[in-house]
Structure 1
Amino acid sequence: MDSRTALPVVKDVRQHLSGAGIYPTSQRRALARILFDRHQHLTADQVYEKARRKNIKVSRATVYNTLNLFVEKGLLREIFVNASHTFYDSNIHPHFHFYNVDDGSLTDMEGHVTDDLVMQNLPQGTVLDGVDVVVRVRNNA
């Protein structure tokens, strides 16, 4: 992981949510603990399954609504890989991804690609708002 883009582990989810203008309900706090305990890329179904394994009482609709709220408030990045795969990335800083079509994994591309490729070529009078690049790879057979 690029040390410039790695996020620290969120120690106080109540403060993290409140700081983003989100009312920290118990379900939101529980889902935030799953999402922000380390840097990771999770689908909504993976978040739901992790919540179930931790005996967190939450519906799929609540998971989706919470993920959408966290994206809207800037706590997560939504990464569209294809029509059936959307990942939620706890690293909100600009960076690129590799998506392995064979095993369905999403990993960060190491290095300073955003600086080298994007930042030096921004049109005059603009600022970077986001980067959504997914490089699709396959396992070497």
Structure 2
Amino acid sequence: MRPTGHDNMHGCPVHELRAKLRQSGLRPTRQRVALGWLLFGKGDRHITAERLFEEASGARVPISLATVYNTLHQFTEAGLLREIAVDGSKTYFDTNVSDHHHFLMEESNALVDIPGAGIAVAQLPDVPEGMEIARVDVIVRLRKKS
């Protein structure tokens, strides 16, 4: 069962996190629960695998960077996270899986949700036969005025 809407498990107790993993078709292993706690216990956020690995290391969670990547991709496939690729070189994972768009702060590489229905997407192209649009990601790049 995939979660729908804005369901971020903010401040979730461990038993609720385990239940959420099971509902999403994932076995609540010790590593998944530990990473899930770091991801979802702080509310909506955008995080890279490298940053989550640093947080796990700081929390003394014995885990490899490869396992962090694998877990983030498993959470994304299960509908618990949304993957956002920026420039093809940096990937963020968003705990807010609802349809929304982002600002990218160029100086800090921070990704920030665009509030409300701040963007209207129109004039989408025709898609090839047998295909459908899964979602549209808009990233608005911001920099300080000169």
TM surpasses 0.5: yes
Give a deviation string over 1:31-79, Cα, whole Å, max 9, x none: 0001111110000001000000100000001000000001111100001
Task: Report the Cα distance in structure 1 between the residues aligned to 2:9 and 2:67, rounded to whole angstroms.
Answer: 26
Name the residue aligned to 1:62: 67
Equivalent of 1:89 in 82, 90, 94: 94
1:79 equivalent in structure 2: 84
Change (3 A) 1:81 1:102: same
Asked whether the equivalents of residues 76 and 83 of structure 2 are also in contact (C-alpha less than 8 Å), the reply is yes
**Share of identical aligned residues, percent?**
39
Q: TM-score, normalised by structure 1?
A: 0.84
Q: Which runs of 5+ in 2 are unaligned?
A: 127-131
- In the TM superposition, what is the alpha-carbon distance from 1:101 to its structure 2 partner? 1.3
For structure 1, the 5+ residue unaligned runs are none
TM-score by length of structure 2 reads 0.81
**Equivalences, count:** 133
Larger helix fraction of residues: 1
Q: Does the C-alpha gap of structure 1 residues 6 and 128 become closer, same or farther in structure 2, counting only changes over 3 Å?
A: farther
**What is the alpha-carbon root mean square deviation over aligned residues?**
2.4
Counterpart amino acid of residue 50 in structure 1: E
Q: 1:111 aligns with which of 106, 116, 124?
A: 116
Q: Stretches of 4+ moved more than 3 A in 1? A: 4-8, 120-123
The aligned residue for residue 39 of structure 1 is 44
Specify whether residues 136 and 109 from structure 1 end up closer, same or farther in structure 2 by C-alpha distance, changes over 3 A only.
Answer: same
Asked if structure 2 preserves the Cα contact closer than 8 Å seen for 1:101 and 1:138, the reply is: yes
